[in-house]
């Protein structure tokens, strides 16, 4: 009992002693008040500054300065400052009437070595102000000085011409960036490809390395030293994989991807990207493509068994603009895969022109489990530069019209939950121009994600 009492008192006084310190954690911010905030890692004993190695990861580094000849100073791994270190000033003096000096009665003196400088003159020890009655006038462009009154025999003249130091900041190459998209698969799929999107930012990439950080078992990574790897041996659960990129200059950046592996019979997910012609493969996405105009397109995903159907080949379903209902490169992209979906998905789309919705769905998802409900995510994107309204306009199973501004869109998706397939396992989506003319004459769809709800 005594031991318990002593322990309780110790804890009480401990918490009391530290009660004045506060730690607040907000979005993107940690605030520590009246306490020391310590960061400890393998570089914590380095006396220097905290350096961002990429993606918010930090390490302590010393500031290293290196002279590059006599005209530049470099901060190692960072920026270079070039400067004018020679001929920063010139001074001279003479006695009027002496050898090489002006003669008595002269009113001007010219020396090209004074050009473009900040010229100051002393006459017989007195500083000369700019004055046409009793002083000087200076033409710094030509290095000419006029004296008022005229120079007298034995006048002693001292001249300084100072040049400003010219600092020219020349930025070195920035840090490269790397992005890896999250992915998911459903067993018994045997493998998964992950691709890193890398922007060198002026650097030369010397190596790639994939590694597994977490997961229910140890997977097998093939082509681990390339930009695209293949992962196999996965079991049900959540994995984390990292791509590390190293530049020729030794800079290192990385990004992590979460991979969700669903068991056979577990929740399924299908990510569909639409294009006019077959698009480059995007890991985790099912590309449905074809000249929609006048064609009946059906495509079945081998993983989920679900089928995407454009309704039929007649003009009842899709009305062309410029002879087409599909495009491969007019969607808005981010340039670094930082959007709501990968850039390749944003880049291409199907669209419908002018035809308004009546009761006919023209984008069908079939093969669904009638005992399940589903979440649908839709994305429409169109490059900026158009003068009229461009929207993604959709109805799910004949419901209310949904609108999404497609112009410049890289970050917005429309989410509909609790969607129920009909008795045949079908969900109907209508992609038609809005009944409200405010939203224009087009309807776009770049991406459709169907998720089976638990």
49-86, pLDDT tens digit by residue?
777 766 667 777 766 665 555 555 555 555 555 554 44
Would you state the pLDDT for residue 7? 44
Contact 379, 343 (CB under 8 A): no
pTM over cut 0.75:
no
Residue partners of 361: CB distance under 8 A and separation at least 6 = 311, 395, 397, 398, 428, 429, 430
Domain that holds residue 434: 269-452
Same-domain status, 140 and 153: yes
Enter the DSSP assignment of 264. T
Same-domain status, 283 and 234: no
Low-confidence ranges of the chain (pLDDT < 50): 1-19, 27, 84-86
Same-domain status, 306 and 430: yes
Contact 349, 357 (CB under 8 A): no
Q: Is residue 16 part of a domain?
A: no
Instruction: At 16, give phi and psi (nearest 5°).
Output: -65, -40
Same-domain status, 302 and 241: no
Same-domain status, 444 and 363: yes
Enter the DSSP assignment of 280. P
Residue reference for tokens 């019979």: 265
Same-domain status, 416 and 318: yes
Q: Is residue 325 part of a domain?
A: yes
Q: Is residue 32 part of a domain?
A: no
Same-domain status, 425 and 282: yes
Q: Is residue 3 part of a domain?
A: no
Q: Is residue 13 part of a domain?
A: no
Domain tally, the chain? 4
Alpha-carbon distances, residue 355 vs 75, 140, 394 (angstroms): 62, 74, 13
Same-domain status, 296 and 445: yes
Would you state the pLDDT for residue 143? 85
Same-domain status, 323 and 386: yes
Alpha-carbon distances, residue 117 vs 114, 142, 330 (angstroms): 6, 10, 56
Same-domain status, 143 and 198: no
Domain end point (choices 172, 205, 224):
172
Would you state the pLDDT for residue 85? 46
Domain end point (choices 212, 237, 262):
262
| Angle CA 103–107–108, to nearest 5 | 90
| Angle CA 366–447–427, to nearest 5 | 25
- Class of residue 323 by CB neighbours under 10 A (exposed 0-12, middle 13-18, buried 19+): exposed
Same-domain status, 186 and 312: no
Domain end point (choices 107, 125, 157):
157
Would you state the pLDDT for residue 67? 56
Same-domain status, 194 and 252: yes
Would you state the pLDDT for residue 28? 57
């Amino acid at each position: 009992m005594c031991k318990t009492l002593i322990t309780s008192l110790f804890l009480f006084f401990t918490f009391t002693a530290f009660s004045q310190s506060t730690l607040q954690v907000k979005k993107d911010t940690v605030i520590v008040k009246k306490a020391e905030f310590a960061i400890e890692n393998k570089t914590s004993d380095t006396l220097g500054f905290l350096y961002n190695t990429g993606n918010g990861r930090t390490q302590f580094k010393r500031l290293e300065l290196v002279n590059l000849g006599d005209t530049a100073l470099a901060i190692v791994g960072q920026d270079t400052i070039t400067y004018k270190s020679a001929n920063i000033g010139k001074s001279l003096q003479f006695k009027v009437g002496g050898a090489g000096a002006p003669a008595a009665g002269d009113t001007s003196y010219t020396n090209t070595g004074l050009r473009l400088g900040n010229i100051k003159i002393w006459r017989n020890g007195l500083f000369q102000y700019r004055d046409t009655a009793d002083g000087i006038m200076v033409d710094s462009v030509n290095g000419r000085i006029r004296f008022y009154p005229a120079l007298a025999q034995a006048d002693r003249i001292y001249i300084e011409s100072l040049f400003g130091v010219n600092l020219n900041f020349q930025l070195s190459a920035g840090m490269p960036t790397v992005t890896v998209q999250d992915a998911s698969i459903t067993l018994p799929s045997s493998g998964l490809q992950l691709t890193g999107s890398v922007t060198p930012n002026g650097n030369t990439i010397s190596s790639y390395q994939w590694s597994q950080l977490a997961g229910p078992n140890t997977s097998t990574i093939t082509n681990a030293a390339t930009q695209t790897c293949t992962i196999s041996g996965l079991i049900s659960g959540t994995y984390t994989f990292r791509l590390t990129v190293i530049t020729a200059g030794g800079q290192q950046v990385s990004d992590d991807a979460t991979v969700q592996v669903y068991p056979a019979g577990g929740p399924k997910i299908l990510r569909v990207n639409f294009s006019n012609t077959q698009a480059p493969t995007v890991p985790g996405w099912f590309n449905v493509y074809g000249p929609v105009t006048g064609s009946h397109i059906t495509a079945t995903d081998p993983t989920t068994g679900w089928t995407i159907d454009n309704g039929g080949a007649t003009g009842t379903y899709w009305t062309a603009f410029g002879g087409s209902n599909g495009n491969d490169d007019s969607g808005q992209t981010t340039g670094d895969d930082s959007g709501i979906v990968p850039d390749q998905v944003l880049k291409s789309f199907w669209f419908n022109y002018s035809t308004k919705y009546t009761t006919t769905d023209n984008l069908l998802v079939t093969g669904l489990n009638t005992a399940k409900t589903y979440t649908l995510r839709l994305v429409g994107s169109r490059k900026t530069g158009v003068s009229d309204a461009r929207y993604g306009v959709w109805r799910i199973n004949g419901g209310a019209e949904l609108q999404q501004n497609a112009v410049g869109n890289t970050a917005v998706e429309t989410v509909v939950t609790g969607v129920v397939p009909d008795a045949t396992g079908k969900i109907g989506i209508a992609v038609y121009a809005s009944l409200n003319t405010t939203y224009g004459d087009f309807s776009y769809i770049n991406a459709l994600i169907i998720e089976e709800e638990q």
